[in-house]
Amino acid sequence: MSTLITGIGELTTNDPEVSGTALVLEGDRVVWVGDGEPAADTRVDVEGRAVLPGWVDSHTHLVFAGDRTAEFGARMAGKPYTAGGIAVTVGATRAASDDELAANLKRHIAEAVSQGTTYVETKTGYGLSVVDEVRSAKLAREHADEVTFLGAHLVPAGTTADDYVDLVRGEMLDAVAPHVRWADVFCETGAFDEDQSRAVLEAAAAKGLGLRVHGNQLGEGPGVRLAVDLGAASVDHCTYLSDKDVELLAGSDTVATLLPACDLSTRQPLPNARGLLDAGATVALASNCNPGSSYTSSMAFCVTTAVLQMRMSVEEAVRAATLGGAQALRRDDIGVLRPGARADVHVLNAPSTTHLAYRPGVPLTRAVWRAGVRVL
């Protein structure tokens, strides 16, 4: 079954060699992009609206239970954000049934898709025991597009950091590795130091997993340096970067994934996106959807924030939220609209992507195809 999408007012392909006013989807792939109206089984006229690749949300934490409204309220009243609140979600997640966790996960993914997100990475990290990390990974694999092992999210109560690292890089990694593509570590004050983070990541790499790093969220630290040194696909947060960090990122293929909704929610400064882009670093935008520090699935909100407050152009922000996310996941078939790419299409109820920032807060998603299936 083929579908012609025609009447496109502005087409963002993220490929400088591909342009046009129409495209054809067949199965789960884009098979043609250009001008004109080739034959297809069905025809959809978008009547001058903007069309772009679906959002690629390359950083979420969706396998969880419970609520941290009280923590958010306290933070808005002046209490600083620390990594320790993760333990509240760990307790709730451990107590929840598989059905409860799956229902919550599916609800959040459906919410994201309804706003134009067509590809979702999510992490474990609220189990922090072998049993609970394995079940989190299995549930995530069933419903999300990409799964990351984040056993090294926080040191759980009743153990030391070094003992827990031994568990994470040993028995826990052995049990979880078959169900995930990536491994991550929260390399931050209050979580894991550089040596502990390196031990976890090196063990994961030896298992054949790709690497990611939570780094430089609460202050300058070793996260960027560690990620680049180990060839990680992405280092996420990048709120506090030294000139050397920017230089390292610009000289590597490690993507700087920025999470502006998290920085707003935790009242941190926004990342220096302009400095990263001007230096030549690859930048992604992601939601960091989680119950504690960034409880939003709106990639459009992240794009709007990047444009209005982080000095990114609309084109740069849209690219970071689509192609940038794909690069952070080391995929070349998503975040783009060209023949052979996955048929992930987002139609805006607006003539151009500029309206994402021009009309902040207005829901602009008109239609969504995810892997060739119209879901909205």
What confidence score (pLDDT) does residue 82 get? 76
Q: DSSP secondary structure string, 44-61?
A: EE-TT-EEEEPEEE--B-
Flag residues of the chain having pLDDT under 50: none
What confidence score (pLDDT) does residue 80 get? 85
Q: Is the pTM of this model over 0.95?
A: yes
Question: What six digits make up the tokens of 215?
Answer: 């780094």
Question: What six digits make up the tokens of 161?
Answer: 């950091």
Contact 111, 143 (CB under 8 A): no
What confidence score (pLDDT) does residue 85 get? 85
Q: What contacts 74, CB < 8 A, 6 or more positions away?
A: none
Cα 173 to Cα 203: distance, rounded to the nearest angstrom:
8
Question: What six digits make up the tokens of 25?
Answer: 């989807």
In terms of DSSP H, where are the helices of the chain? 69-76, 86-95, 98-113, 130-143, 161-167, 173-176, 194-206, 223-229, 243-250, 260-265, 273-279, 299-309, 314-321, 323-328, 355-358
What confidence score (pLDDT) does residue 83 get? 66
